[in-house]
Amino acid sequence: SFIDRINNLHNSTVLEYPDLFQKNDQILLSNDALAFVVNKFQNINLSTSSGDIKGLAFQKFLSSFEKGDRGQFFTPEQVIDLCVNIISPTKNEKIIDPACGSGGFLLSSLKYLKANSPDVDVEKYVSNNLFGIDINKKISRLAKMKLFLESNGNGNIILKNSLADLDEIKLEFGKVYEKPIDKFDVVLTNPPFGTLGKIKNKNILSSYELGYKWSGTWGNYYKTNTLLPGQVPEILFIERCLALLKDGGRLGIVLPNGHFENSSLGYLRSFIKDKAKLSAIIKLPQETFIPFGTGVKVSLLFLEKLNGSKNNKVFFSKVNKLGYKGNKNGTPIYKKNDLGDLLYNDSNNKIPDEDISVVISDYKKFQNNKNNYSGSSYDVDYDKINGRFDYKYYSPEFRNLINNLSETGSKKLSDVVTIISKKSSILKNRSDTKVFYIELSDINTHSFEIYNSTENYLHQLPSRASYELENGDIITAVAGNSIGTQKHATALVTKEFVGAICTNGFRVLRNPKIDPYYLLYFLSSEYFLKQISVYRTGAAIPAISDKDLKRILIPIPDKNTIKNISSNVREALGLRLKSKKILSSVSIQNYAY
């Protein structure tokens, strides 16, 4: 019967390709559904179809399977191709993805090789040069199937925890992993991020340097003997990727932005710089992963494992346009002319509205020691990479601002005010005393004014209640999405709020050595906001550290300029106070009808 014929074909296929199927695999379609599928396919000769067509069809049918609840396995094709173009693998190099998911990086590498090395033996290349590891059974089989359809060759995809003992991984790969392969030329990967939970297995943690607590400061970090209770997986993946590389091997990895900037991860960046050369750092838009289930902000890090030499410069760039929208469907966006008409290329295909190709072009210029980049790219002397790896921190705009401020006699904020960052002792008295409590939202950001507060007993205050205010204090925000923007909260503390308690989302500036009204002006200026926006770190709740707040530079002009600015600010605040009094005195009862 029809069903018997199909089942016999399925069973023989399972026996023929044990790497792709398991003995107990069964067709799960109903008879009616199976008949419908066969009817649609019976006039199509897949044996004579190109690998590209079969792979494309397979990708289309299984795209919903990949996205579904398994967003952690899917990396946008545009991001994958960008990474591969930056790495530029050659036909003699061995490539591995230790978190290969459905094989995106491996397939893109194969596509790149086919385009740039037309003489490559695809089947042989897949069998000998492409390697993948994934912990998920279904998704790793999907990667195997994709590679098979592209090449008719058996890909080296194993089901394994990539963070397990390296010797165990070698055994899983078998003979193909033996020397001279042993180590890889290229690692390309998008590891699972910390949202999936920390690694707490002590056997795994103890086998990694980054599984231990580190102490020290930049230039002097050292590993302690204290094992961490848990570590986010992507940090361990960085160390594993470097262990997989041969000396001089290249790594391209997707990482959350916090790993490039957060002060608590300075040890990680120190570890990376000690083990590898920084080649490139590329910032991606926030919408990059939104179609695939997460709004996490990420950047791409490209490294070369140290082989005794260091590069002179590091390439920085950012992608502004991906070619798709940041909605759940990732709707494609295409270029249009000034009249709103779609533009087409020479093949009569719509042109994606993206600048990834510009970033790739800029990187090629960087490799050729040319620096006529587009506006989003720049390079930095390697020795100037100090503590942070993020794009905004080294941008020419910010560097010029800091240099100009430094050259014009500016002073650090900590040199002109006392910054209060220690909790008030009154908070230890959890009594029935009532105090006013001030939050970030209680500030009118346009008038430096505390316009609201709530009265609470000391014992009812939230844990973030921190600092007792004095007359003439200035409070400025150090946390929240608005810091460094035009809505940055700064206020002058007046007599009515003496003794109030404010949240630790503020820092209190006390005893200024410069005119307080000039200081208020500065705290709303672009000089201040730009520095805050660059120094701030963190994705969920952006914040600036006390260390960075203290080094904010304040321009100190001549006395007359300070006097004039101060006079204008004082007059503006006085006019606002006067207008409030006038409005409060108006009453409809004063008028007769």
pTM of the entire predicted model: 0.86
* Cβ proximity of 40 and 32 under 8 Å: no
pLDDT surpassing 70 at residue 51 = no
d(Cα 447, Cα 172) in Å, to the nearest integer? 66
Local confidence band at 433 (pLDDT 50, 70, 90 cut-offs): confident
Q: What is the 3-state secondary structure (H, E, C) of 170-217?
A: HHHHHHHHCCCCCCEEEEEECCCCHHHCCECCHHHHCCCHHHEEEECC
Beta strands in 6-53, from DSSP E residues, in sequence order: none
Choice among 301-315, 519-533, 576-590 with the minimum mean pLDDT: 576-590
pLDDT surpassing 80 at residue 342 = yes
- Cα 362 to chain centroid distance, Å, stands at 21
Q: Pick the closest to residue 484 from 519, 517, 523 (CA basis).
A: 523
Choice among 129-133, 521-525, 539-543 with the minimum mean pLDDT: 539-543
pLDDT at 137: 81
Mark 270-286 as b/e (b = at least 16 C-beta within 10 Å). bbbbebbbbbbbbbbee
CB within 8 Å of 389: residues ≥ 6 apart: 259, 260, 261, 269, 272, 278, 281, 301
**By percentage, how much of the chain surpasses pLDDT 70?**
91
* Cβ proximity of 132 and 106 under 8 Å: yes
* Cβ proximity of 268 and 238 under 8 Å: yes
Burial of 587 (0-12, 13-18, 19+ CB in 10 A): exposed
DSSP secondary structure code for residue 49 in this structure: S
Half-sphere exposure (Cβ direction) of 245: Cα atoms closer than 13 Å: 25
Burial of 49 (0-12, 13-18, 19+ CB in 10 A): middle
* Cβ proximity of 143 and 205 under 8 Å: no
H/E element holding 579? helix 559-585
CA 415, 420, 421, 425 torsion: positive or negative?
positive
pLDDT, tens only, 545-576: 999 999 999 999 999 999 999 999 999 888 88
Local confidence band at 71 (pLDDT 50, 70, 90 cut-offs): very low
Burial of 425 (0-12, 13-18, 19+ CB in 10 A): exposed
pLDDT, tens only, 378-397: 999 998 998 899 999 999 99
Q: Pick the closest to residue 352 from 340, 361, 344, 360 (CA basis).
A: 344
- Cα 104 to chain centroid distance, Å, stands at 19
Choice among 66-70, 415-419, 507-511 with the minimum mean pLDDT: 66-70
Which backbone phi and psi does 491 adopt, to 5 degrees?
-150, 150
pLDDT surpassing 50 at residue 520 = yes
Residue that the structure tokens 């007599």 belong to: 495
pLDDT surpassing 80 at residue 578 = yes
Six token digits for residue 441: 């939202």
d(Cα 326, Cα 290) in Å, to the nearest integer? 6
Which backbone phi and psi does 27 adopt, to 5 degrees?
-80, 125
* Spatial strand order in the sheet of 245-256: 156-159, 130-134, 95-97, 184-189, 245-256, 298-305, 276-283, 313-318, 378-381
pLDDT, tens only, 137-173: 888 888 888 888 777 767 788 888 999 888 888 777 8
CA 389, 392, 395, 401 torsion: positive or negative?
negative
Q: Which residues pair with 283 in a beta bridge?
A: 299, 318
Burial of 488 (0-12, 13-18, 19+ CB in 10 A): buried
d(Cα 366, Cα 316) in Å, to the nearest integer? 10
pLDDT at 187: 97
Residue that the structure tokens 């103890």 belong to: 206
pLDDT at 247: 92
CA 39 to each of CA 2, 33, 35, 47: distance values in angstroms, whole numbers, following the listed order: 11, 10, 6, 17
pLDDT, tens only, 229-285: 999 999 999 999 999 999 999 999 999 999 999 989 999 999 999 999 999 999 999
DSSP secondary structure code for residue 134 in this structure: E
* Spatial strand order in the sheet of 454-457: 454-457, 434-438, 501-503, 465-468
Local confidence band at 33 (pLDDT 50, 70, 90 cut-offs): confident
Local confidence band at 225 (pLDDT 50, 70, 90 cut-offs): very high
H/E element holding 224? strand 222-227
Six token digits for residue 61: 């049918």
pLDDT surpassing 50 at residue 68 = no
**By percentage, how much of the chain surpasses pLDDT 90?**
59
Which backbone phi and psi does 484 adopt, to 5 degrees?
85, 5
Mean pLDDT of the chain: 88
Six token digits for residue 437: 């409590």
d(Cα 390, Cα 409) in Å, to the nearest integer? 27
Mark 112-134 as b/e (b = at least 16 C-beta within 10 Å). bbbeeeeebeeeebbbebbbbbb
pLDDT surpassing 60 at residue 62 = no
Q: Pick the closest to residue 159 from 145, 172, 177 (CA basis).
A: 172
CA 512, 514, 516, 518 torsion: positive or negative?
negative
Local confidence band at 70 (pLDDT 50, 70, 90 cut-offs): very low
Mean pLDDT, range 480-508, rounded to an integer = 95
Q: What share of the chain is helix, strand, coil (3-state, %, to 5)?
A: 45, 20, 35
pLDDT surpassing 70 at residue 65 = no
Residue that the structure tokens 């600092």 belong to: 467
Q: Pick the closest to residue 99 from 153, 68, 140, 39 (CA basis).
A: 140
